[in-house]
Structures are given as structure tokens and as C-alpha cells.
């Protein structure tokens, strides 16, 4: 098994304590950064590493940092996006609970790079344990002088504030998050202006995913060349966490270099299918286009998945076997998006629920021949026409399910009932983490 | 200034103008709901999406500012198709109850659907049905018709400066809501009905009263306070059905307060005078206009002949038009030689109320104090003048429907030899008069007012006064005729032209030049 950087301490109950972290070389990267590098140099290093955002969009982290106006007299903020709520995704939760100091060190380095003196960790409300662990980690780091005033004698100050969300998927969208952080309704903002120019409290703000930030100390310690040597090519680099759920023998959290082969991951590392044969895989969290069983011999990286019309997203891999009814599965997803739509933009607010109603009808056996085209058309009319990507996230699964599993949808209509023998008795017998 | 192409046409706009506003300004319609020129941009309705040469996605034209050299297409196939689908989304849960909706006829959902939408719906599912809510005040929320544009929410935040509405719940269940225990009691509330693009916010005052296309609209000026807001009177069958605000950036932006909005009801309840009256002992008897005017002119002629003009006083009014006050001055000063001119005004009520946008409800509840003073001078204390016995004949032009005459003042009026009054409704002045002339109120007459800032605006009569009641300027023009050998003014515009020649503040002003928005007094 390849070298691991996140999961190697998963069996150690002390992995989230600062003493353990320090014994294993923790906070060396921060020390190097504040003592030896200028903020600009840190940004250059991260750019060179090729680190791309792990939250879903895959935007190069260093480039994003570079968007912060250098000569603005406004305060700058760093926000760690720990509102992990994409169905099928549970990697940030692991970092928060087991490796909070990796995250904190990453937050500190990123804050130094953009010269922020306040950083927020916006953590999903349901992550009660994670919030507690993180807060303790902040306290430990402050006591040891890795956070707070004049960090390691460098003159750099950083206050890290843990902010718990109140339970909305939309607050994981960076501008919805910022609104919520400011105490308002989590309604995503119109862009431009982008947060790097006008973010939290109208000041330049960088919002990064937890896993993205946790990679930063590794880049500093081992160098950008080391980081970019991991992965299939210079645009898809670094170690990567993969969350596998569904009908496999060993679901759970896995770490491999960027570009792990999906088929290999399912059939070798996860022990293959639980019972039946493979029907479909959602490779990057519930929002991304679904893959059929024939499409899974693919490298799990941003560009390879994009090339076959899907996305790496959050690398939340949902494996579905033949006992899954694709209409029912899509209904489940769309019900989620309809429930989580903020209601601001028309297509998402109205379209998601419309799709749910159609899918419910098809699943009940009252579908019409024209419903498949209608679903596809509604998805098309939502896609790219909303303020934030939640609309796209609801549209992409719908379009891909209908396109790739149209026969199954049609079978529902023809038979006047659901033709799939469902097995809803999955038990996670071998949870990997 | 940025120059760009809009549907192939070169357009220049101020930097910082949105594409949508630039298009609207140049006469190209881009349908929109959430955008309102006076409110913050939210870009959420997605109806104003347009195609831009430098963007792969359609962009909301309300949130995208004009840039030099860009090419915008507002009628390409992609845009048309996006618009049509957006309107379909708006309509899937809409009850299509236009036949019983008060907004029908002026509804942007109707208009846009007709112009840009599809004539059939692909939605076969059950619609979302929600009961109508009473938001307090005069406002009903027909939730099934809401398009979630949030204009009403933003109106309170941006214009009033205090939140009264919010969006409750989220997604498909989003709902406009008041805060617990805080209904829509604010004075500016009626405006949200006007800015609601659909039939969601409905005014109980207008509920099921008329179809809007049957209403006639007359431009007018609100007489409710000295702000002088531009308004539209909407009426049919000689009855006002509602008052709406009329945009005038120099006066009221585009808002009016509820005091003004519902003011017309107060005139409906008045006990009108009906006929000219003359005194016969203790009683007031109906008489003809000819007789009433001849009694007055005979008395005034006597004063003139006996050179007793110092015994005559004239009270003009902050509630009367400039034309009435001016004719009064012309008759009494030029013809009789009188120099005792006073202006009646009621005492101010409380403090001026200023909201966030700067819109002000004035404590001076008269519409024309400024103008009356320009014409008649600054003197207001005619009561002590009567008390001192210096006045025998008094002409009292009033127009204030809320005038209160104290017992003490009644005694003073009884001391007069002759009291002529010109009033809208029965009141204590009329009851003590020797001759009382029934005059029209603002909606029944034409004229002009000068607001507290010195802005002159004209208004036109919308209603016909009761049969024997006349417009104030007409009464005075008829009286003037009796002194001037039968020559007088034939229209209110004539009076304005004469006033422009004789009152320096109104120099260069004519009824025509006043236009819809009026002019500032120099």
C-alpha cells in the first residue's frame, strides 16, 4: 500500500492531540513558513505544487490565494470550509476528528500567505464531536504558541474561530457560507465580486476546503516538487482521500495518490461488490453525473473524470448494485436537493421539486412516455442558470441518470410499476475506518 | 462612457449602469421581477438573463454592469428559450386565477407570459396550494401567486430602513412572512402593493373593487401634507377607487405614504354644502350663484365707494391652490384696494417623519403653505385683528376639511359685519357666514400647489364636483368678472399666466411648462 499522510494514524486514539502531532514533526511547516518565507513565496510554492481544491470544483489553491488584493487596507480573512454535507462524502469529518492539527497548521500557513489575522472554521452543525475536537486543538495550539499573538516570535498574529453551522447544505457553498458566517440567511451571493475581493464582512476572504488546507503543511515540509510528483500528471497532484459507500464489501475512507483507478478501488481495495453485480457509480459526491458499470475503468482525478463527462467532486464514491432502482435513487437525490435548495433562484426553487414530483409519479407506476424528456429538459433549464452551483448539482444527476439509464425509466412507464427487485438491507459489515 | 452593442445597436451608458437599466433606458425591454431601480440588486429571479459575447453562461443583466465593447443579445434563441422556461417555472404552481385577481391587467406575470411565455404548461402534478395570509394593516398575501422576487422585503430594508418582512423557510417552501407580533403597520406599507410585480400583495382597500383596465388615471398632487407627492388618481363613474404613487425624483422619489394613499376616503364622507347659501336671520338658505356673487360684489362695491377698504380683510389658505389665492389677491388688492391679507394654516402635527431613503412625511399637513405665503404674504394672525375691531368685512377662503373653530373664535366671527366663506364642506365657518360658496376639493379641481421645498406642481381635475359646487378658481374668476365689466379668466392656465406676470416668484411659469413633474421656485 502506498504511503499515507492522513490515515496513517487512524488507529491511534491520540492522533488528534498536539503532543502526538508535535512528536511526529507537527507545526514544523508553520515554523519554516513564518521564519523563512514571505507570504508571496508561500503562494508560489502552493501554486507550484499544483494543489487543487478538494471541495469539489478543483480550482488551484495557490492561484485562488493570489487573487487577494495585495494593497488593500481592509482586513483579510481565511475561512476553512468544514461544512461537509455532500451526500457520500466523509473525508473532512475524519480530518476534523482525527487530524485537527494538520488542518490548523494548514489554516495558519494559508492565513500567513494571504496575511489574514482572523481565520474561521465553519463547521457543519451536526459535527458535534468534530467541533469539540477542533476547539480543543485550537486551545492547545494557542497554549503552545502556534496560534495567537506573535506566532513563534515572527510577529504574525492569528486568531482561529470555530463557527458551527445550523444545518444547511447550501452553507457549504462558499458565499452562502459567508452570509451564514455574518449571521444572515445562507443565501449564496451573486458573483462577481468573488470572495477573494469581497468576502466575509466585505473584506478579501479565501474560502478553502478542509482537505485542501490539510495538504498545505505536507507541501511545505516535502516541497512542491514532491507534491506534484504524486498523481497522474502535473495538473492532478498530491495525496487524496476517497470516500466509498454503497454496495461494496468494505465501504469507508481510503487514501491513495490522486488518480487511483476506480475499478481497482472498488474491486480490490473495497473487496468488490457486496452481493449483486455493479450497476452504477457516482464518483464524486451526489452532485456529479453518474457512471455506468462500463465506465469505471477510470483514473480518479479531476481531468480524467471530466473527460468522460463526470467530475471528481468531493471524491464521494457511491456504488450502486443491480438491486438499486435508478428512478428511486434519483428520486432520493432530487428530494435532497429540493429540500436543500435555498429558494432564492427560480429554476432551482421550482425545478427541483417539480423533478421530485415527476420521479415520485414514475416510481409509483404512473409515469408517462414524455416524462423522461421532460426531466431531461427541466435539468437543462436549471443547469448554469442559477446564482450558485446547487442548481447544477441538482441538474447533473438528473440529466445523467435519464440519459444513461433511460431504459430503466421506460420500463417503469411500460410496466406501470417499479421493475427492480430492491434490496434495502445493506449493512455496513466492514466499515474501513 | 462605456459604449456597447445591445442587439446590434450601439448604446452608451454611464459607467456603473447595469445592462438591464441601460436597455430599459434605451427602450429595449428585458423582462425582470427581482430587479427594481430603487432596490438592492439580488439577481435571483433569473428572468433577465441575457447572452454576452464574453461569457459562456447566460448572465443576469441586472447584476452585470455595462462594459466598453461588450455585445449583449436580449432576443437570441438561447435567451428566448431561457426566458420561456423561467416563466414556466414561475407558472407551475401559480393558480392561474387571473379572473378573480385584482392585479390582472397590470400584472407582469400576465404580460411577460403573454409576450415571452408558452401557452401551455407541461406540469401535470398537483400544485402547491397555500392559504392567503393577512399581514396586518391593509395587506393580504396571496401566497400562491408569489414569485419570490423579495422586492417587498427589500423595500423595507432599503427604503424604509426597518425590517418588517422576511423570507421564512427555504427552497420550495419559501414564504414571505412578517415577524412575530409585528404586522405591516408602517406608514409606507402601501407601496409594497405597487412594487409587487404580481398579484401576491393585495391592498384590502382595493380588494375586488374594480378591474384596473376600467379605471381612468388622472395625474394629481397629494394634498395630505406639504411634501406634495406626485400621485395618480384612479377613478371611474366619478368615484376614486385608489391612489397610486407617481414617480417624481424631485419630490417623492416613487413612493407615497398611507396617509395620502387612503386620503380620498375622507372626502367621500364629507357633508357637502350643496348650494350657495345666504343668510336670512338665523337661517342659511339656498340661493343661486348669481345672487350669492352679487351680494358679495355689492358689499365690496360699497366699501370701495365709501373708501373703507381698510375695514376689509381677506384670509387665503394653505389648503387652497395658488390660482385661488392669486385671484383673491387680484380682486381684493387691485379692485377694492384692500391690503389686509392673511394666510390660514392649521397647526403642525408632531414632527416630520423621515425614512431611510430621505422620503419625508411633513408635520405641516397643508399642501400649499409655501405658495399661499408667496402670494398673500406672511401674516397669519387674523383672529387678533378681528378682536381689535379692525375688520368689518371678511372673505375667508378655506379648503381645510379639518378646520376647527373654537367657541371664542365663533364669538369673534359673530362680531363681523359681513362674513363671506368659500368652503368644501359644512363646518362652523359656513354656519356663521352671511354668504357661503361651495367649492371643489383637490380631486375635483385643477390648479397648482407649492410644496415645502418650493416645488410647484400642477394637477388636473379627475372628478366632477356636485352640481352646484364649483372649482375655486372659477368662483373667484366669476366674482372678478363682476368688477371687470364681464371680462375674466376662461381657464386655470389663464390664471397661471396672469400670476406669472404679477407675482415675481412665479415668473416664467406657465401651466404648460409645469409639465408632470413641476418646477422649482426661483
C-beta atoms of B44 and A345 within 8 A? yes
Residue A190 placed within a domain: yes
Average pLDDT (A289-300) is 98
Distance CA A366, CA A375 (A): 15
- Residues A312, A267 share a domain: yes
The phi and psi torsions of B492 (rounded to 5 degrees) equal: -65, -30
Q: Give the 3-state secondary structure percentages of chain B, helix then strand then coil, rounded to 5.
A: 30, 20, 45
C-beta atoms of A344 and B173 within 8 A? no
Q: How far is B152 from chain A (nearest CA, A)?
A: 14
Residue A176 placed within a domain: yes
Q: How far is A347 from chain B (nearest CA, A)?
A: 6
Distance CA B114, CA B124 (A): 21
| Summary mean pLDDT of chain B | 96
C-beta atoms of A340 and B171 within 8 A? yes
Instruction: Give the model's pLDDT for residue B277.
Output: 97
- Residues A331, A316 share a domain: no
pLDDT tens, position by position, A413-422 = 999 999 998 8
Instruction: Return the residue matching grid coordinates 357661503.
Output: B436
If residue A355 lies in a helix (H) or strand (E), which one and from where to where? helix A346-364
Cα B120 from chain centroid (whole Å): 40
Question: Cell triple for residue B224?
Answer: 395630505
Q: Which residues in chain B are closer than 8 Å to A354, comparing Cβ atoms?
A: 89, 92, 123, 125
Q: Which domains does chain B have, with CATH numbers?
A: 3-89 (3.10.20.740), 95-268 (2.20.25.90), 277-520 (3.40.50.740)
C-beta atoms of B171 and A386 within 8 A? no
What is residue A425's DSSP assignment? -
Distance CA B151, CA B159 (A): 11
Q: How far is A75 from chain B (nearest CA, A)?
A: 25
Q: Which residues in chain A are closer than 8 Å to B45, comparing Cβ atoms?
A: 345-346
Average pLDDT (A89-93) is 98
Q: Which of B46, B54, B63 to mutate to test the interface with A (most CBs of A within 10 A)?
A: B46
What is residue B425's DSSP assignment? B
* A window 183-202, beta carbon within 8 A of B: 185, 190
Q: Which residues in chain B are closer than 8 Å to A374, comparing Cβ atoms?
A: 122
- Residues A78, A57 share a domain: yes
| Residue B472 touches partner A, C-beta closer than 8 Å | no
| Residue A343 touches partner B, C-beta closer than 8 Å | yes
CB B129 within 8 A of CB B144: yes
C-beta atoms of B148 and A354 within 8 A? no
- Residues A28, A118 share a domain: yes
CB B450 within 8 A of CB B498: no
Residue A23 placed within a domain: yes
C-beta atoms of B89 and A350 within 8 A? yes
Of A321, A354, A376, the residue at which a domain comes to its end is A321
- Residues A256, A216 share a domain: no
Distance CA B150, CA B155 (A): 8
Look at residues B129, B264, B130 and name the one whose alpha carbon lies nearest to residue B206. B264
CATH of the domain at A205: 3.40.50.11540
Q: Which residues in chain B are closer than 8 Å to A351, comparing Cβ atoms?
A: 89
Strand ranges, E, within B353-442: 353-354, 360-361, 393-397, 418-423, 435-438
- Residues A165, A25 share a domain: yes
Distance CA A29, CA A35 (A): 10
pLDDT tens, position by position, A357-409 = 999 999 999 999 999 999 999 999 999 999 999 999 999 999 999 999 999 99
| Residue A366 touches partner B, C-beta closer than 8 Å | no
- Residues A261, A187 share a domain: no
DSSP per residue over B282-330, as a string? TEEEE--HHHHHHHHHHHHHHHHHTT-GGGEEEEEETTS-HHHHHHHHI
Instruction: Give the model's pLDDT for residue A1.
Output: 58
Instruction: Give the model's pLDDT for residue A424.
Output: 66
Strand ranges, E, within B7-70: 9-12, 49-52, 59-60
CB B176 within 8 A of CB B144: no
Q: How far is B118 from chain A (nearest CA, A)?
A: 14
Instruction: Return the residue matching grid coordinates 415520485.
Output: A360
| Residue A300 touches partner B, C-beta closer than 8 Å | no
Question: Cell triple for residue A418?
Answer: 417499479
pLDDT tens, position by position, B379-407 = 999 999 999 999 999 999 999 999 999 99
Alpha-carbon torsion A377, A381, A384, A389, what sign? negative
Q: How far is A110 from chain B (nearest CA, A)?
A: 31
Residue A398 placed within a domain: yes
pLDDT tens, position by position, A163-208 = 999 989 999 999 999 999 999 999 999 999 999 999 999 999 999 9
Nearest to B123 among A343, A347, A354 (CB): A354
C-beta atoms of A354 and B125 within 8 A? yes
Paired residues of B221 in beta bridges: B230
- Backbone Cα Rg of chain A: 22
Helix A128-143 vs helix A100-114: angle between axes, to the nearest 10 degrees? 60
Look at residues B289, B327, B311 and name the one whose alpha carbon lies nearest to residue B465. B289
Distance CA A233, CA A228 (A): 8
Strands A260-261 and B353-354: unpaired
DSSP per residue over A111-168, as a string? HHHHT-SEEEEEE-TT-HHHHHHHHHHHHHHHHTTSSBSSGGGSS--BEEEEEE--S-
Q: Is the pLDDT of residue A433 over 60?
A: no
CB A248 within 8 A of CB A271: yes
% residues pLDDT > 90 (chain A)? 95
Other Cβ atoms closer than 10 A to A406: 14
The three state secondary structure string of B166-192 is: EEECCHHHCEEEEECCECCCCCCCHHH
Residue A430 placed within a domain: no
Question: Cell triple for residue A133?
Answer: 475536537
Residue A111 placed within a domain: yes
- Residues A54, A107 share a domain: yes
Average pLDDT (A99-120) is 98
Instruction: Return the residue matching grid coordinates 512528536.
Output: A23
Within 8 A by CB and 6+ apart from B77, the residues are none
Distance CA A338, CA B458 (A): 54
C-alpha dist (Å) from residue B171 to A91, A341, A349: 27, 5, 5
Confidence category of residue B314, pLDDT binned at 50, 70, 90: very high
* Count of A-B CB contacts under 8 Å: 88
If DSSP codes are grouped into helix, strand and coil, which group holds residue A77? strand
C-beta atoms of B45 and A345 within 8 A? yes
- What is Dmax (Cα atoms) for chain A? 73
Q: What is the ipTM of this complex?
A: 0.93
- Residues A221, A82 share a domain: yes
Average pLDDT (B26-53) is 96
CB B102 within 8 A of CB B207: yes
CB A338 within 8 A of CB A355: yes
Of A229, A261, A287, the residue at which a domain comes to its end is A229
| Residue A345 touches partner B, C-beta closer than 8 Å | yes
Q: Which of A167-176, B41-50, B187-196, B481-490 has the lowest mean pLDDT?
A: B481-490
List alpha helices for B17-160, DSSP H.
Answer: 19-25, 77-91, 108-116, 151-154
- Residues A84, A219 share a domain: yes
Residue A164 placed within a domain: yes
Q: Which residues in chain A are closer than 8 Å to B169, comparing Cβ atoms?
A: 343
Residue A139 placed within a domain: yes
Q: Which residues in chain B are closer than 8 Å to A190, comparing Cβ atoms?
A: 41-43, 60, 63
Within 8 A by CB and 6+ apart from B519, the residues are B455, B456, B509, B513
Within 8 A by CB and 6+ apart from A394, the residues are A287, A333, A334, A337, A338, A341, A348, A351, A352, A355, A379, A382
pLDDT tens, position by position, A120-133 = 999 999 999 999 99
Within 8 A by CB and 6+ apart from B91, the residues are B109, B113, B117, B121
| Residue B268 touches partner A, C-beta closer than 8 Å | no
- Residues A117, A55 share a domain: yes
C-beta atoms of B85 and A381 within 8 A? yes
Q: Which residues in chain A are closer than 8 Å to B88, comparing Cβ atoms?
A: 381
C-beta atoms of A357 and B42 within 8 A? no
Is residue A224 reached through a cis peptide bond, with omega within 30 degrees of 0 on the bond before it?
no
Other Cβ atoms closer than 10 A to B243: 25
If residue A373 lies in a helix (H) or strand (E), which one and from where to where? helix A371-382
Instruction: Give the model's pLDDT for residue B455.
Output: 97
Distance CA B475, CA A270 (A): 99
Question: Cell triple for residue B30?
Answer: 428585458
If DSSP codes are grouped into helix, strand and coil, which group holds residue B72? strand
- Residues A143, A48 share a domain: yes
Q: How far is A91 from chain B (nearest CA, A)?
A: 27
CB B41 within 8 A of CB A190: yes
Q: By CA distance, what is A373's nearest residue in B?
A: B122
If DSSP codes are grouped into helix, strand and coil, which group holds residue B67? coil
Q: Which domain holds residue A308?
A: 239-321
CATH of the domain at A349: 1.20.1440.230
Q: How far is B244 from chain A (nearest CA, A)?
A: 29
Question: Cell triple for residue B354?
Answer: 423621515
Instruction: Give the model's pLDDT for residue A376.
Output: 97
If DSSP codes are grouped into helix, strand and coil, which group holds residue A264? helix
Instruction: Give the model's pLDDT for residue A427.
Output: 57
Mark residue A86 as left, alpha or beta (left: phi above 0; alpha: psi -120 to 50; beta: remaining): beta
Distance CA B149, CA B165 (A): 13
| Residue A167 touches partner B, C-beta closer than 8 Å | no
Instruction: Give the model's pLDDT for residue A70.
Output: 86
C-beta atoms of A343 and B60 within 8 A? no
C-beta atoms of B125 and A357 within 8 A? yes
Paired residues of A254 in beta bridges: A242
The phi and psi torsions of A146 (rounded to 5 degrees) equal: -90, -15
If residue B429 lies in a helix (H) or strand (E), which one and from where to where? helix B428-432
Within 8 A by CB and 6+ apart from A407, the residues are none
Of A292, A321, A350, the residue at which a domain comes to its end is A321
Domain count, chain A: 3
CATH of the domain at A301: 3.10.20.600
How would you class B409 by CB atoms within 10 Å of its CB: exposed for 0-12, middle for 13-18, buried for 19 or more? middle
Is residue B385 reached through a cis peptide bond, with omega within 30 degrees of 0 on the bond before it?
no
Amino acid at each position: 500500500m502506498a504511503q499515507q499522510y492522513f490515515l496513517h494514524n487512524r488507529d491511534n486514539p491520540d492522533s488528534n492531540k498536539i503532543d502526538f502531532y508535535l512528536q511526529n514533526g507537527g507545526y514544523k511547516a508553520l515554523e519554516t513558513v513564518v521564519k523563512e518565507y514571505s507570504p508571496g513565496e508561500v503562494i508560489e510554492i502552493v501554486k507550484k505544487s499544483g494543489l487543487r481544491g478538494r471541495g469539489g470544483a478543483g480550482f488551484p489553491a495557490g492561484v485562488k490565494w493570489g487573487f487577494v488584493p495585495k494593497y488593500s487596507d481592509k482586513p483579510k480573512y481565511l475561512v476553512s470550509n468544514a461544512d461537509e454535507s455532500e451526500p457520500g462524502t466523509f473525508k473532512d469529518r475524519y480530518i476534523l476528528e482525527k487530524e485537527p492539527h494538520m488542518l490548523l497548521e494548514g489554516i495558519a500557513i494559508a492565513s500567513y500567505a494571504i496575511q489574514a489575522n482572523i481565520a474561521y472554521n465553519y463547521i457543519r452543525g451536526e459535527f458535534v464531536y468534530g467541533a469539540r475536537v477542533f476547539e480543543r486543538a485550537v486551545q492547545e495550539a494557542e497554549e503552545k504558541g502556534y496560534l495567537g499573538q506573535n506566532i513563534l516570535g515572527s510577529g504574525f498574529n492569528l486568531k482561529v474561530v470555530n463557527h458551527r453551522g445550523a444545518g444547511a447544505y447550501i452553507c457549504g457553498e462558499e458565499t452562502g457560507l459567508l452570509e451564514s458566517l455574518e449571521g444572515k440567511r445562507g443565501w449564496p451571493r451573486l458573483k462577481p465580486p468573488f470572495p477573494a475581493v469581497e468576502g466575509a464582512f466585505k473584506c478579501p476572504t479565501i474560502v478553502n476546503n478542509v482537505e485542501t488546507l490539510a495538504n498545505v503543511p505536507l507541501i511545505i515540509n516535502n516541497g512542491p516538487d514532491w507534491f506534484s510528483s504524486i498523481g497522474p500528471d502535473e495538473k492532478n497532484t498530491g495525496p487524496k482521500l476517497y470516500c466509498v459507500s454503497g454496495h461494496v464489501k468494505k465501504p469507508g475512507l481510503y487514501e491513495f495518490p490522486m488518480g487511483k483507478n476506480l475499478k481497482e478501488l472498488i474491486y480490490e481495495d473495497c473487496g468488490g461488490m457486496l452481493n449483486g453485480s455493479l450497476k452504477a457509480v457516482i464518483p464524486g459526491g451526489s452532485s456529479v453525473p453518474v457512471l455506468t458499470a462500463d465506465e469505471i475503468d477510470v483514473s480518479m482525478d479531476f481531468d480524467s473524470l471530466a473527460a468522460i463527462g463526470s467530475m471528481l467532486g468531493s471524491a464521494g464514491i457511491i456504488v450502486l448494485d443491480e438491486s438499486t432502482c435508478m428512478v428511486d435513487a434519483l428520486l432520493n437525490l432530487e428530494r435532497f436537493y429540493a429540500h436543500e435548495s435555498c429558494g432564492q433562484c427560480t429554476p432551482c426553487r421550482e425545478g427541483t421539486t417539480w423533478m421530485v414530483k415527476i420521479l415520485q409519479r414514475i416510481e409509483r407506476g404512473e409515469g408517462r412516455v414524455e416524462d423522461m424528456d421532460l426531466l431531461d429538459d427541466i435539468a437543462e433549464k436549471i443547469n448554469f442558470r442559477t446564482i450558485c452551483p446547487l442548481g447544477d448539482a441538482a441538474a447533473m444527476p438528473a440529466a445523467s441518470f435519464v440519459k444513461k439509464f433511460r431504459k430503466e425509466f421506460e420500463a417503469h412507464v411500460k410496466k406501470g410499476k417499479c421493475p427492480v427487485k430492491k434490496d434495502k438491507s445493506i449493512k455496513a459489515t466492514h466499515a474501513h475506518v | 462612457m462605456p459604449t456597447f452593442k445591445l442587439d446590434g445597436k450601439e448604446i452608451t451608458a454611464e459607467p456603473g449602469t447595469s445592462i438591464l437599466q441601460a436597455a430599459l433606458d434605451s427602450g429595449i425591454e428585458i423582462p425582470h421581477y427581482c430587479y427594481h431601480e430603487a432596490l438592492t440588486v439580488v439577481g435571483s429571479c433569473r428572468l433577465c438573463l441575457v447572452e454576452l459575447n464574453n461569457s459562456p453562461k447566460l448572465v443576469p443583466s441586472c447584476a452585470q454592469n455595462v462594459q466598453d465593447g461588450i455585445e449583449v443579445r436580449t432576443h437570441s434563441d438561447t435567451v428566448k428559450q431561457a426566458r420561456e422556461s423561467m416563466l414556466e417555472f414561475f407558472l407551475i404552481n401559480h393558480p392561474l386565477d387571473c379572473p378573480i385577481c385584482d392585479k390582472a391587467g397590470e400584472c407582469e406575470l400576465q404580460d411577460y407570459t403573454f409576450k415571452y411565455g408558452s401557452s401551455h404548461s407541461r406540469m401535470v402534478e398537483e400544485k402547491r396550494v397555500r392559504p392567503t395570509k393577512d399581514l396586518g394593516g391593509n395587506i393580504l398575501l396571496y401566497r400562491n401567486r408569489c414569485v419570490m422576487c423579495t422586492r417587498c422585503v427589500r423595500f423595507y430594508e432599503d427604503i424604509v430602513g426597518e425590517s418588517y418582512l422576511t423570507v421564512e423557510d427555504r427552497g420550495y417552501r419559501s414564504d414571505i412572512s412578517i415577524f412575530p407580533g409585528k404586522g405591516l403597520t408602517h406608514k409606507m406599507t402601501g407601496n409594497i402593493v405597487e412594487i409587487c410585480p404580481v398579484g401576491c400583495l393585495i391592498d384590502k382597500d382595493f380588494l375586488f373593487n374594480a378591474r384596473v383596465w376600467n379605471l381612468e388615471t388622472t395625474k394629481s398632487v397629494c394634498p395630505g401634507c406639504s411634501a406634495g407627492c406626485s400621485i395618480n388618481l384612479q377613478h371611474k363613474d366619478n368615484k376614486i377607487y385608489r391612489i397610486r404613487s407617481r414617480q417624481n425624483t424631485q419630490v417623492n422619489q416613487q413612493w407615497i405614504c398611507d396617509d395620502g394613499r387612503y386620503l380620498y376616503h375622507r372626502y367621500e364622507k364629507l357633508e357637502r354644502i350643496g348650494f350657495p347659501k345666504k343668510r336670512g336671520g338665523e337661517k342659511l338658505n339656498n340661493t343661486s350663484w348669481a345672487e350669492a356673487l352679487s351680494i358679495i360684489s355689492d358689499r365690496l362695491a360699497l366699501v370701495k365707494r365709501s373708501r373703507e377698504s381698510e375695514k376689509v380683510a381677506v384670509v387665503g389658505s394653505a389648503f387652497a391652490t395658488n390660482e385661488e389665492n392669486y385671484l383673491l389677491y387680484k380682486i381684493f388688492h387691485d379692485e377694492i384696494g384692500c391690503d389686509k391679507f392673511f394666510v390660514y394654516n392649521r397647526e403642525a402635527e408632531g414632527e416630520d417623519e423621515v425614512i431611510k431613503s430621505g422620503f419625508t412625511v411633513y408635520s405641516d399637513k397643508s399642501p400649499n403653505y409655501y405658495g399661499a405665503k408667496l402670494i398673500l404674504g406672511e401674516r397669519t394672525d387674523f383672529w387678533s385683528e378681528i378682536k381689535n375691531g379692525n375688520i368689518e368685512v371678511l372673505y375667508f377662503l378655506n379648503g381645510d376639511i379639518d378646520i376647527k373653530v373654537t367657541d371664542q373664535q365663533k364669538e369673534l366671527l359673530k362680531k363681523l359685519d359681513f362674513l363671506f366663506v368659500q368652503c368644501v364642506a359644512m363646518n362652523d365657518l359656513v354656519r356663521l357666514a352671511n354668504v357661503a360658496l361651495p367649492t371643489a376639493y383637490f380631486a375635483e379641481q385643477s390648479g397648482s400647489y407649492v410644496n415645502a421645498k418650493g416645488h410647484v406642481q400642477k394637477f388636473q381635475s379627475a372628478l366632477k364636483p356636485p352640481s352646484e359646487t364649483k372649482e375655486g378658481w372659477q368662483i373667484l374668476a366669476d366674482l372678478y368678472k363682476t368688477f371687470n365689466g364681464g371680462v375674466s379668466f376662461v381657464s386655470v392656465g389663464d390664471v397661471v399666466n396672469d400670476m406669472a406676470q404679477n407675482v415675481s416668484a412665479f415668473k416664467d411659469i406657465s401651466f404648460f411648462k409645469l409639465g408632470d413633474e413641476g418646477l422649482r421656485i426661483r
